Amino acid sequence: SAYRGNKDIVELLLDHKADANAQGGQYANALQASAAEGNKDIVQLLLEYKADANAKGGYYGNALQAAVDQGNKDIVQLLLEHKADANAQGGYYGNALQAAADQGNQDIVHLLLEHKADANAQGGYHGNALQAASAQGHKDIVQVLLDHEADSNAQGG
């Protein structure tokens, strides 16, 4: 229901003691599924029912990376306000900053850096955010990352 955007059903289930942090499936949990599908109202609802903004697992690794991959700045901001870790590791991209750099989303790159994302964090498909931005031809993001002390000689990817 979280994935499909059925807020009324999600709320009904939560009101009847469904676990907001239940694990399983492609997205690992309802928060990641709703973030991946851009369902901000459901993300908000799940967070109100104490869903863990840092729960790990699934394709994206966590809800923050799912929201970043989809370019949904509002959900990214909401998750960060609920203490999502901008440096959490896991998933396809390895971390949220690498996902934002890969997608070419400068607004989200700035938002993550404001929340102390590590410009040199390693892992994921490209190895790090600088390599992701470089590989995708996002010159402006390469510059932003270099301005935030990304190591131009870092290995990986």
Cα torsion 81, 108, 43, 96: sign: negative
Using DSSP's 3-state secondary structure scheme, residue 61 falls into strand
Q: Which residue's structure tokens are 């998750």?
A: 79
**Domains within the chain, CATH numbers bracketed:** 1-85 (1.25.40.20), 89-157 (1.25.40.20)
71-121: pLDDT as tens digits: 999 999 999 999 999 999 999 999 999 999 999 999 999 999 999 999 999
Instruction: Tally Cβ neighbours within 10 Å of residue 107.
Output: 11
Report which DSSP code applies to 90: B
pLDDT for residue 152: 93
CA distances to 28, 87, 99, 111 from 121, in Å:
23, 8, 12, 16
Under a CB-based contact definition with an 8 Å cutoff, are residues 157 and 131 in contact?
A: yes
**What's the token pair of residue 117?**
């994302």
Q: Could you read off the pLDDT of 41-64 as tens digits, one per residue?
A: 999 999 999 999 999 999 999 999
What does the alpha-carbon distance between residue 115 and residue 109 come to, in Å, rounded to a whole number? 10
What's the rounded Cα separation, in Å, for the pair 151 and 66?
25
- Reported residue count of the chain is 157
Q: What gap in Å lies between CA 29 and CA 26, rounded to an integer? A: 8
- CA 80 to CA 135: how far, in whole Å? 27
User: What is the model's pTM?
Assistant: 0.92
State the pLDDT confidence band at 155, using cuts at 50, 70 and 90. confident
Cα dihedral sign for 130, 136, 141, 147? positive
In this prediction, residue 5 carries a pLDDT of 66
Residue-level pLDDT at 157: 61
Quote the pLDDT of residue 95. Answer: 97
